[in-house]
Amino acid sequence: MTKSRKQKQKKQDFLRKKLKVGKPKERASNATNTSFVSKTISIRNQHLDHDPHDLTKRLTLLKHHNTNVRKETLITFQKSIPSIINSRVMTPLLTQSIPLICDESQQVRQGLIDLIDEIGSHDAEILKLHCNIFVLYINMAMTHIFSQIQADSTKFLSHLLKYCSNEVVRKSWVKLLNGVFGVLGWGQVGKNEGASVVQTKKRNAKYINIHLNALYMLVEYGCQDERARGVDSDTAVSFEDSSDLRNPYLIPDCPQPFEHLKLFTRELKVKDPAANGTNATLLSLATQDIETRRAAFSEQFLPVVLKQIEIIIKEGGECGKTANNLKKLLAKVFD
Amino acid sequence: MGRRSRAAMLPTNIILLQNLVKRDPESYQEEFLQQYAHYESLRDIFMLNGLTGGDSAAATNGLVVGNGSSTMAGSNGTTISTSTSQLIELVGFVSQVCSCFPRETANFPSELKQLLLEHHKSLPFELKEKILSCLTMLRNKNVITAEELIQSLFPLLVAYSSHGNSLGANSHAKELRKIIYTNLISLLRSCNTSGKNQKLNKSTQAVCFNLLDKPDSQGVWATKLTRELWRRGIWDDSRTVEIMTQAALHQDVKIAISGVMFFLDADREREENFEEKSDDEDGFDLDALKHKMQVNKKSGRRGKKLENAIKTVKKKQKNGPGTPQGYLNFSAIHLLRDPQGFAEKLFKEHLSGKTKNKFDLEQKISLMHLLSRLIGTHKLIVLGIYTFFLRYLTPKQRDVTRIMSASAQACHDLIPPEVINVMVRKIADEFVSDGVANEVAAAGLNTIREICSRAPLAIDEILLQDLVEYKGSKAKGVNMAAKSLIALYRDVAPEMLKKRDRGKNAAMEVQGARREGKDSRRPQFGVENNVQGIAGIELLAKWKKENGDEDEDEDAEANWEVDAGGQDGEVDGEWVTMDSDKEYGVNMEDSDEEKDKADEKEIDSDLELSGDDEDKEEKKKQEIMDMDPEAAFREIASTRILTPADFAKLQELRNEDSVAKIMGVHKQDRREELVDSNTLTGPIRYKQSREERLQKVLEGREGRDKFGSRRGKRDNVRSTTNREKERRKNYVMSIHKRSVRTKQKMSLRDKQVVLRAHISKQKKKGY
């Protein structure tokens, strides 16, 4: 009677257990379960050095959910471009900021354009290095389902063309033309225009003007040789000739000169390229020289452009003026 | 042409656009093309960035290692980047609507397949999942064929089931396997719902064969798939079984065992599967059968046993030849193409070869069971197995009863008796002696009985007579086992028993045979007796004899009529026009009456049988005993034409017979019967542990609301009464009270007075 149950239990732990076959050892009453269930063990990184001026820490802010943060980060980077232009930060900065072409906020996109301008004014070579990703994202923006992003995509294109026109037109001539046509609503396959394009066209002609400008620049850089463009012709030609003829085995002046051969790119195989029509064959075509570009343009795009330009010229206004310029350019190039 | 006013509906998200495109593909072609281009550019970006390990891959390349690790941790986390989720969304969209634009999206399915097959290691799980579901959807929309889908599913299944394939921590291999597996099953099921799609089945089976050809453990998927499809009745041909034979002979333990378990369990699984699906009409007159069985002797246990037996018979019948079949209802073992070769290989490679040690005991027992079942069912001859069993037949062996049941099943009458004799002798030596526990001896005797019931010549006379001596054992299990052995040999070969064990009938039979100089009925090796003619006809003959000859001729006509009445429900209209309504009705009544009379007679005769005149019964029984199926067939088939009523009766008798067989009355052809290892030891009752006893007590207390304790279950809320308080008061406190103390000091006289007064008071109260 005197001993409580707890005391008895305590005593039990010190009693000698009778062994029995097939009976496992009983657990002590005060045994603690130390097992744990976890798929991964995460160990925090040791941050030994905390550099407040380390800009790499700010790179992740480019993906921040708050619009203002993204915009301000872009502005910070833009301000510090002169100091970091030759550092290692540039590559991650560009790879992380280029996806902002498809950002939903207009301010962020504007900030990105400013940043690109800043970089281009300091060192255009850096932009040329990342030309590929640029074109991919611009293309994506051109087909984006939000019409605002679509409308802004040509701005990026024209700014990019300013700095690395040669690379852009060489690598993705047909692709970009397709994109610009899509933005302008000049459908090639169907007879109908895209619904979103119809709406924006009604609403404001400002965007059309920008698109037409971009197209003008594209055609100018793509189809017109440098002499006609008014570049210092003598030096350019002599330089090109000399480099082509005299030093074919020296280091080329542009990065990845053999990229168009697609030796090291991952790509999905196309089962039957002929089945998809001329556009697909053109897309796979390498447009390295002016002649091919011209041929592709005149074959695929010229009739549509001429037809559409007439309509815009008739409507007049700012757009009409730009369209007229474009018409003149086309007449000059394809006479 | 597209609609004019569609510009009013501006799609701002993919889902809305999908809805619009599906409704009116022509008008929204431009939008679709735009989104398709969007998908293409996203895919290109993904190919450039995503495959090298998240969006920050380029960042890590350019940065110092320390920073790289921190960004890596970010990219490997569970959150998927926005571009991936966009791609997922677009892939879903395109595959939803691509049947509207077959020309533009001709390349889309193959792109998905390539992404999945070639880059599956670097794709995030969500995207893989989406692509899988999209491919299934494309199959449902008939954009790609089932074969194409299977060709892309199988390699993935294989890739994600290997362990050493350097799959990352976030590969979600298990989930993917599950998704792929369920997709495969549902695909094959849907392709086989309306008629079997033989082409697809064959190609899939070919893939399974190829998987099993490889030496690694990938083939386990083939077996898993096959088993599942077998269970659902989708695959039921011999090719399927051939896959499993190949699996069972595989070098890999896991595959081999899954193949073996297929043969052991798959048919039961399938039956259960179909049982759940359909519970329909009972084929025979349940009540009549029950009545008959209970007339013989009444006992609750017997009744329960009967009911169980009926259930199993019903189950057997349902899948038997009588039921309509949607599928081939052969068991896997029956569909084997080369049972002898299979059994020999199985024994040689898995049980007796150099590699025999790779299986543990449990698996070895499964192998033994399969082998013995093969041998028993097809009457194969694998002589090595009997000496193989010798090693395991000792009482100390773990799971020895299961091995014993396997050894019993492996016997049949075409095996040379001297081969089995060794085994029987070993069992007798090891198990049946005075020094062992009761259940051990019982198990030994029961096993020997099972062996002998399959191969009666396996035991020699002296050993049998020795074993039979255990009938006097005090242990019930041993006693019963020995008696069952006697009963068996009374039936099979009474000459082998001692004279006093033969029993009356067998002894008389033997004597009669000796007197007439006939050769005995003793079985001989190599002489088989098969049932020919109509199965169960001897039962009918027996029944005819038992029920006397008197009602044979009279109701012959009635028998035709009865069944005609039963059958012509469908053709009733035609019969009515024959203008023989009146007669027809009279006939019906007559036959009914006669049937009733017949029933009465039947019962009478039964009573008579159980009654006093035993001589008659003896004679009849002996006649019945004599009758073998061939003679019965000759007798009945030559003397009379079997009526539909006869066939009905025959069916009923066969039911009864099979019930009786299950109840342990007859033991005739038992090739495919399994020996239940649990019953070999006979009934054993171990002492219950404290927990078990307590559980039983508590079980008995359940639901005794009226008589159970009412502690803690007061009906209305109240405080405790004074009397209750008084009762509960501490003893030590109350003994010091004066009223209690004075009681002790009371004189004897006073005590007596008080007691008397108390008694009279109680009596007045009525206690």
d(CA A181, CA B438): 95
Listed ranges A286-290, B203-207, B528-532; the one with the highest mean pLDDT: B203-207
For B348, which DSSP code? I
pLDDT at A209: 86
- B45 contacts A133? CB cut-off 8 A: yes
- pLDDT given for residue B409 in this prediction: 93
Q: Indicate whether B564 pLDDT > 60.
A: no
Q: Hey, are the CB atoms on A268 and B47 less than 8 Å from each other?
A: yes
Contact assignment for B9 to A45 by CB distance below 8 Å: no
CA distance A282 to chain B (A): 15
Q: Where are the domains of chain A?
A: 165-233+255-335
In this complex, which of A99, A140, A145 lies closest to B41 when CB atoms are compared? A140
A28 min Cα distance to partner chain B (Å): 21
Q: Residue B310 in 3-state DSSP? A: helix
Chain A CB contacts of B121 below 8 Å:
none
**Contact call for B37 and A179, based on CB within 8 A:** yes
The residue-averaged pLDDT of B645-651 equals 75
Asked whether the beta carbons of residue B48 and residue A193 sit closer than 8 angstroms, the reply is no
State the DSSP code for B124.
-
Chain A contacts of B37, Cβ < 8 Å? 139, 142-143, 178-179, 182
What are the backbone dihedrals phi and psi of residue B282, each rounded to the nearest 5 degrees, phi first? -90, 135
- Contacts of residue A80, defined as CB under 8 A and 6 or more positions apart, other chains included, come to A55
Q: Distance between CA atoms of B459 and B480, rounded to whole angstroms?
A: 19
Asked if pLDDT for residue B570 goes beyond 70, the answer is: no
Q: At residue B267, does pLDDT exceed 70?
A: yes
Mean pLDDT of B483-489: 93
| CA atoms of B438 and B228, how far apart (whole Å) | 43
Using DSSP's 3-state secondary structure scheme, residue B497 falls into coil
CA–CA dist B578, B581 (Å, integer): 8
Q: Verify whether the Cβ–Cβ distance A195 to B6 is below 8 Å.
A: yes
Mean pLDDT to the nearest integer, B12-37 = 84
Q: Least CA distance to B169: which residue of chain A?
A: A40
Please provide the DSSP assignment of A91-151 as one string.
HHHHHHHGGGGG-S-HHHHHHHHHHHHHHHHH-HHHHHHTHHHHHHHHHHHHT-SSHHHHH
Identify from B15, B30, B65, B174 which residue to disrupt to test chain A contact, counting A C-beta atoms within 10 A and taking the largest count.
Answer: B30
C-alpha distance from B252 to closest chain A C-alpha (Å): 30
Of A92, A143, A146, the CB nearest to B59: A92
Chain A hits for B51, Cβ within 8 Å: 266
Contacts of B119 (CB under 8 A, 6+ apart): A266, B51
B114–chain A Cβ distance below 8 A for any pair: yes
Instruction: Give the three-state DSSP class for B270.
Output: helix
pLDDT band at B293 (very low <50, low <70, confident <90, very high): low
CA distance B190 to B140: 10
Q: Which residues of A touch B34 (CB under 8 A)?
A: 143, 182, 194
Closest chain A residue to the Cα of B17, Cα to Cα: A145
Q: Does B112 touch chain A (CB under 8 A)?
A: no
How far apart are alpha carbons B678 and B547 in whole angstroms?
40
Distance from CA of A195 to the nearest CA of B (A): 5
Distance from CA of B351 to the nearest CA of A (A): 29
Answer whether residue B270 shows pLDDT above 60.
yes
Residues in chain A closer than 8 A to B38 (CB atoms)? 140, 143-145
Instruction: With CB atoms and an 8 Å threshold, state whether A140 touches B38.
Output: yes
Distance from CA of A235 to the nearest CA of B (A): 37
At A84 the pLDDT is 86
Closest residue in A to B75 (Cα) is A60
Q: Are B234 and B189 in contact (CB under 8 A)?
A: yes
Number of neighbours of residue A55 by Cβ within 10 angstroms = 17
Residues of A in Cβ contact (< 8 Å) with B110: 269, 271
Q: Which residues lie below 8 Å from residue A268, measured CB to CB, with a gap of 6+?
A: B43, B47, B111, B114, B115
Report the distance separating Cα B246 and Cα B701, nearest Å.
56
In angstroms, rounded to a whole number, what is the distance separating the alpha carbons of residues A221 and A223? Answer: 6
The chain A residue lying nearest B36, using CA atoms, is A143
Task: Check: CB of residue B62 under 8 Å from CB of residue A91.
Answer: yes
Q: Which residues contact B337 (CB under 8 A, 6 or more apart)?
A: B238, B241, B242, B245
B35 vs A137, A143, A198: nearest CB: A143
A148 neighbourhood in chain B, CB within 8 Å: none
Q: Is pLDDT of B608 > 50?
A: no
Compute the distance between CA of residue A301 and CA of residue A179 in angstroms, rounded to an integer. Answer: 12
pLDDT at B228 over 80: yes
Give the tens place of pLDDT for each residue, B48-69.
775 554 444 333 333 333 333 3
Digits of tens for pLDDT over chain A (335 positions)?
567 777 877 777 777 776 665 666 677 778 888 887 877 777 666 666 666 667 788 888 888 889 999 999 999 999 988 888 888 888 889 988 998 998 889 999 999 999 999 999 988 888 888 888 888 899 899 888 888 888 889 899 999 988 888 888 887 888 888 888 888 877 655 455 555 555 555 556 778 888 888 888 888 888 877 655 555 444 444 444 444 555 667 777 666 667 667 676 666 665 554 444 555 566 666 677 788 888 888 887 888 888 888 888 888 788 888 888 888 888 888 77
CA distance B307 to B15: 60
- Encode A22-46 in three state secondary structure: CCCCCCCCCCCCCCCCCCCCCCCCC
CB B672 within 8 A of CB B376: yes
The pLDDT of residue B263 is above 80: yes
Contact flag A96-B59 (C-beta cutoff 8 Å): yes
Find, in chain A, the residue whose alpha carbon is nearest to that of B45: A136
pLDDT of residue B198: 87
Residue B107 contacts A where some CB pair is shorter than 8 Å: yes
Q: How far is B373 from chain A (nearest CA, A)?
A: 33
Cβ of A195 within 8 Å of Cβ of B9? The answer is: yes
The nearest alpha carbon in chain B to A145 belongs to B12
- Chain A partners of B169 at a C-beta cutoff of 8 Å? 39-40
Half-sphere exposure of A223 (CA within 13 A, CB side): 24
Q: Which residues of B touch A190 (CB under 8 A)?
A: 29-30, 33
Count chain A–chain B contacts defined by CB atoms under 8 A.
122
The whole-angstrom separation of Cα B442 and Cα A230 is 112
Residues from chain A that touch B27, judged by Cβ atoms under 8 A, are: 192
At B7, the pLDDT band (50, 70, 90 cuts) reads very low
Q: What integer is the mean pLDDT of B723-749?
A: 89
Residues of A in contact with B14 (CB under 8 A): 145
Does B76 reach chain A within 8 Å, measured CB to CB? no
Q: How far apart are CA A98 and CA A256, in angstroms?
A: 20
CB A153 within 8 A of CB A179: yes
Rounded Cα distance, B365 and A11, in Å? 47
- Rounded to whole angstroms, the Cα distance separating B760 from B748 reads 18
pLDDT grade for B471, boundaries at 50, 70 and 90? very high
Residue range B757-764: mean pLDDT, rounded: 92
Among A199-203, B233-237, B293-297, B425-429, name the most confident range: B425-429
